[in-house]
Every structure is written in structure tokens, then in C-alpha cells.
A and B are shown apart, each in its own frame.
Chain A
């Protein structure tokens, strides 16, 4: 497609517009976190003000950030590793030994994502209570893995599908059995795809709030619960809430920034080679 100068200008403006629109709330949150509580609720809000770290100090004084952050890291990484461990063999089977029902199975898996989580809250809660998984990191790991499994399998399937079947067949002719075929051929060829899938899963786990708020209280509570703890009891303190949110999303923002290349490649589902 040829783009004229005018079209290019239009696309550029549109792109920046959308980007700013998406970025604005984050920008505003960070800005607010440096205001005093009074300045934070001023109408109209001011762009120029004397920055203060008092909200951060108070957030740190009131809750143990590191405890929540550590939980976030453990459940995100754990959930992702478990989802990959289950998803890779599933996607392998579907990509390289498809049956007539493979496509439908995949769609069915994805369709479970359309069910609102709250719809299964009660059964999951009861299961967790029965098995003593409430407020445990292991419980969250399992829930996160299951939550992301459909999307993980779908993405891995798409990446595996791109590996020419003849390369694996050549491997089989060369004497590679399933294990060797996976370690020596499939894995090295799809590492970028598996990495993007893992990255996406990490981000989704990190930002997950519904299950973490409902299934944890203190021991296993991740950063989403940390944020929430600043929103409820004593009324809304916007500056502190913003400060808490900022420190909660900062790690994943930095992480996302560092891995954006990989992520974009993964999210376009291999369309861009």
C-alpha cells in the first residue's frame, strides 16, 4: 500500500492521539502520587505544583510493600511456569497431531474466557476452602495458570503451527524421538514465541485483581490487594492511592518496556516475521 504524505500525517496524528489517550490515566496517576492529599482533589486540578514524597512515605509506613511485591512475583512467575508446562504439550499435540476436532477444541478453550469470572467464584471459593488453599500462594498459582491457559495454548499453537512440519519429520527420519524432537528442534525454533507467551502471561498475572482480592487476605496477597487496601476503609485518599498504584505497576511497566519488542512480536501472533 502506498501512503501519501497527507495519509501519513493523519495516521501519525491518530497514532499519537490513541497513545496519549491510553497513557493519560497512568500519567495522571503518577502526577497525583506526587501531590499532597489536598492538592490531589483540587478542582480544577493543577499541572504545576510543588512535588512531595509524603504519600510514598505514608504508603511505605502503612504496608509492607516488599511482602506484597514478593507475592506478586511468586504467583505471576509460578502461574506462568505452570501454564507453560501444561500449555506446551497441549499445543504440541494440537499443532502436530491434529484431529478433526482440534480447531473446535481450541475455540472451546478460548470460549471459557468469555465466561465472567464471578460466575464461577462460588464453586472455586468452596473448592479452595475445602482444600485449604484460601490465602495461599499455591492456590493463586493454580488459578492464574488455569485463567491464562486458553490464551497460552492458543498462542503456542499459533507459533508451533509456523514451524514447517517437514523439519520435524526430517528430525524423526534422523532418529529423533518425541523428547529429542522437542528439545533439539521445536524448542530452539520457537523460543521467541514461547518467550512472548510467557511475557504476556506474566503481565496478565501481575495485573489480575478479581481472584487475588477474593481468594487472599494477607499471607498470599499480591500487589493488586496492596492497591485495594488503600482504596477502601478510610474513604478515598487519592494521593496515597496513586502512590500505591504507582509502586505496584512500576515493576511491570519497566518489565514491559524492556521486553516490548518481544511482546509486540508475540501479540501480532507471528504475523510479522
Chain B
């Protein structure tokens, strides 16, 4: 059992506030991912949880107990650093056994636990090597192994995959997900890569400039982004944003008009928005499809063919850019006029302040 609670956590460097009041509950066995652009304060937040950075104000509770004043050595957490931070003068075996040695665990027991972790991570052949004799992926696994042997209350990861090449990153992502299941552990993971966040998290915390933008499951954030920032950050390729005017609401939802005059009904409630006000319509590239009868007209500028999928970069009549994701088998190519149909139910409306209008119905997978 391990839970983590953050109560209005803040961090200031001199007069400069970098974490501006974060509240979060991490339940036992959660896989929580902090995601956000570089410099938004993810590492700072994680390091405060670890005890490596002092908490300026607010409360941090582990298993219900305040730990603000407890040092990193006594919090019972394990951390995997972006740089791996392996001990260069120790062998893999010694690296993984170091925490146990610090805890005063007998040698035989230590050996057994290291061997067990090495088996899980397929590091057995490398136990007597030093970190500089390992590849990036192997070092990464040693860093993870060093965390696992301790059987910590909570695992902390700071961008652990960002130094790996793309294929290895994909492989390690799967391995981490497997580890999470196998170890039944609570994990807090930091990344700037929304794909990592989507695939690993049971709960995503989107951060921007030291503030939480939204907390929710991956599909919740994908289907019900709370604001423009989250909508633009989660999902790849990025959501399209079009300028729109709110015409009004009826039983089917809110009706908006695009600059071209095309009208779309989105199943949402007006919330605080006013009829006649300006808004932003968000459409994911995968919710658009070519349709000769469609209400949106434009011209294809570029067709990015990825094989299974093709991304059409379209310029609308009014000059606004739009990305459309279509089947790889579709022949639509560059310099062709195109008409697009859109499923209103998959669209989002954001009011002038960038907040999403509440959806009438929750997506079934985003309970």
C-alpha cells in the first residue's frame, strides 16, 4: 500500500514561483504521469516528492503522513533519473545492491534480490560490468533495476526514456507498462512526450507554467480536454483549431458557424458562453473525412503519406490551415480542391477564455 497526496504544493526560487499550487491524489498502484512542455516544472515537482528539493509551501503526504521534513533517504521512494545517474565506479551488481547495502541487508539476501531484479530485466549477463561498458538501453535497465530491488513504496521516474533512440524507447515503454503490472507498484512518471503519457498512465496530470491544467485518465483528456492547452497538447497529430462564432443552443447541442459560413452542431452545453460570441472549434484530424457533400471547403497543400495513414495539410478558403488524417489507400493528393465532412459529436468548442464547453454526454471509454 502506498498513496501520495499533494496539498497546494508550491515552489519558489528566490522571488520566482515555478510551482503554483498543485493538488493531487495518487492512489495505490496508480501510474501517474506528469506531462507538459519543457520548463513547466515537472522535474521540480517530482524532486519535491523525492525530497531532493525543499517544498516552499503546502503539504506532501505519503500514506497519509506528512513528509515535508523527511529527508530523501528516509522517504522509502526510488527514483530513476534522466541521466540514469549510475555509480560509475561500481559494477552493475553493486549498483543494484547499493540501496540494500545502505539499508544494512545481509549479503546473501542482497545477492538474491539483485539476481531476481536482473532476471526480470534480463541483465544477468552484465552483472559484473561497469556502467561505461553498457549500451544506453542496458544502463536504463540498470537504473530501473536499482529501483526495483528496493521494493520501494513509490517509484519516481524523470524522463527515463528521453536519452534512448526511438525504437528502444518504444520497447522500454512496453517493458515499463509490464513492470507496473508485475510489481503492483505505485509509479509517478515525468515526460514531455504525450505519447508516453497516453500509453503508460492510468492518470495524467497536464502541467503548464507550474499549474495543473487538467487531471484525468488518458482517454478522458483525449475525449474531454478541459481547455485549449490540453486539447492541443494531448493527441497526435494535434487537434485543429478553427475560429468560430456561437449561433445558439438547442436540444442537439451548440451550433457554431465557421468563417466560411459552414455550420456545425456540437453536442455540448452553453456553459458560460453567449450566443453571438466568438469561440474556437476544435476538430481532431481523425474526425475529418473527405466528402464531396461536406460543409468545409479547401485545398490540399501537402499529402504526408505514412503508409497506413496519410496526413493531408489543407488550407481552407479563408486561409486557415487544417490537418486531416485519412486512410493510406486514399488517392487524394496535393494541389487538389477538397470538401470535408466532420462528425459534430467528435468536435469541441472552447469559449473566449479557452475553456471547453461541457459535453452533453461523456465518451463511453472516458468514464
Task: Pick out which of these stretches binds chain A: B98-106, B247-255, B351-359.
Answer: B98-106
B50 at the interface (CB under 8 A from A): yes
Tally of contact residues, B, Cβ under 8 A: 23
CA distance A15 to B77 in the complex (A): 56
B309 at the interface (CB under 8 A from A): no
CA distance A37 to B348 in the complex (A): 103
0/1 string, B77-94, CB within 8 A of A gives 1: 111010101111100000
Residues from chain B with Cβ under 8 Å of A172 in the complex = 51-52, 71-73
0/1 string, A151-195, CB within 8 A of B gives 1: 000000000000010110111111111001000110011000000
Is A173 touching B79 in the complex (CB atoms < 8 A)? yes
Evaluate whether A189 and B79 lie within 8 angstroms (CB atoms) in the complex, with A174-B98, A176-B73 already known. Answer: no
B146 at the interface (CB under 8 A from A): yes
Q: How far is the CB of B95 from chain A (nearest CB, A)?
A: 9
Neighbour of B88 across the interface among A171, A174, A180, A189, CB < 8 A: A189
Residues from chain B with Cβ under 8 Å of A175 in the complex = 73-74, 99, 102-103
Is A171 touching B77 in the complex (CB atoms < 8 A)? no
Residues from chain A with Cβ under 8 Å of B50 in the complex = 173
Of B77, B89, B150, the most chain A CB neighbours within 10 A belong to B89
Summarize A's interface: helix, strand, loop or mixed: helix
Residues from chain B with Cβ under 8 Å of A169 in the complex = 52, 72, 79, 81, 85
The chain A residue sitting closest to B150, CB to CB, is A174
CA distance A172 to B98 in the complex (A): 11
Is A188 touching B89 in the complex (CB atoms < 8 A)? yes
Evaluate whether A174 and B81 lie within 8 angstroms (CB atoms) in the complex, with A185-B87, A189-B89 already known. Answer: no
CA distance A189 to B146 in the complex (A): 19
Residues from chain A with Cβ under 8 Å of B72 in the complex = 169, 172-173
Is B89 touching A173 in the complex (CB atoms < 8 A)? no
Q: How far is the CB of A270 from chain B (nearest CB, A)?
A: 15
Tally of contact residues, A, Cβ under 8 A: 17
CA distance A189 to B85 in the complex (A): 13
CA distance A171 to B83 in the complex (A): 14
Is A167 touching B78 in the complex (CB atoms < 8 A)? no
Is B81 touching A171 in the complex (CB atoms < 8 A)? no
CA distance A166 to B81 in the complex (A): 7
Residues from chain B with Cβ under 8 Å of A176 in the complex = 73, 98, 102
CA distance A240 to B86 in the complex (A): 58
Evaluate whether A167 and B102 lie within 8 angstroms (CB atoms) in the complex, with A173-B77, A173-B78, A174-B146 already known. Answer: no
Of B71, B73, B103, the most chain A CB neighbours within 10 A belong to B73
Evaluate whether A170 and B87 lie within 8 angstroms (CB atoms) in the complex, with A175-B73, A176-B73 already known. Answer: yes
Residues from chain B with Cβ under 8 Å of A180 in the complex = 102
The chain A residue sitting closest to B89, CB to CB, is A188
CA distance A180 to B146 in the complex (A): 17
CA distance A164 to B87 in the complex (A): 10
Q: How far is the CB of A62 from chain B (nearest CB, A)?
A: 51
Is A164 touching B73 in the complex (CB atoms < 8 A)? no
Evaluate whether A167 and B85 lie within 8 angstroms (CB atoms) in the complex, with A172-B71, A173-B78, A184-B98 already known. Answer: yes
0/1 string, B49-61, CB within 8 A of A gives 1: 0111000000000
Residues from chain A with Cβ under 8 Å of B51 in the complex = 172
Of B72, B77, B146, the most chain A CB neighbours within 10 A belong to B72
0/1 string, B261-296, CB within 8 A of A gives 1: 000000000000000000000000000000000000
Residues from chain A with Cβ under 8 Å of B99 in the complex = 173-175
Q: How far is the CB of A164 from chain B (nearest CB, A)?
A: 7
Residues from chain A with Cβ under 8 Å of B86 in the complex = 167, 170
Is B88 touching A167 in the complex (CB atoms < 8 A)? yes
Neighbour of A170 across the interface among B74, B77, B85, CB < 8 A: B85
CA distance A121 to B97 in the complex (A): 54
Of B50, B88, B103, B150, the most chain A CB neighbours within 10 A belong to B88
Q: How far is the CB of B149 from chain A (nearest CB, A)?
A: 10
Residues from chain B with Cβ under 8 Å of A189 in the complex = 88-89
Residues from chain B with Cβ under 8 Å of A184 in the complex = 98
Residues of A whose CB lies within 8 Å of any CB of B are: 164, 166-167, 169-177, 180, 184-185, 188-189
- Known contacts A173-B52, A174-B146; 20 additional CB pairs below 8 A are A164-B85, A166-B83, A167-B86, A169-B52, A170-B86, A172-B71, A173-B50, A173-B77, A174-B78, A174-B99, A174-B102, A174-B150, A175-B73, A175-B74, A175-B103, A176-B98, A177-B71, A177-B73, A180-B102, A189-B89
10 A-B pairs, CB-CB below 8 angstroms? A164-B83, A164-B85, A167-B86, A169-B52, A169-B79, A171-B87, A172-B51, A173-B72, A175-B73, A180-B102
Among all A-B residue pairs, the 6 with the closest Cβ atoms: A174-B99, A175-B102, A166-B85, A170-B85, A172-B72, A173-B79
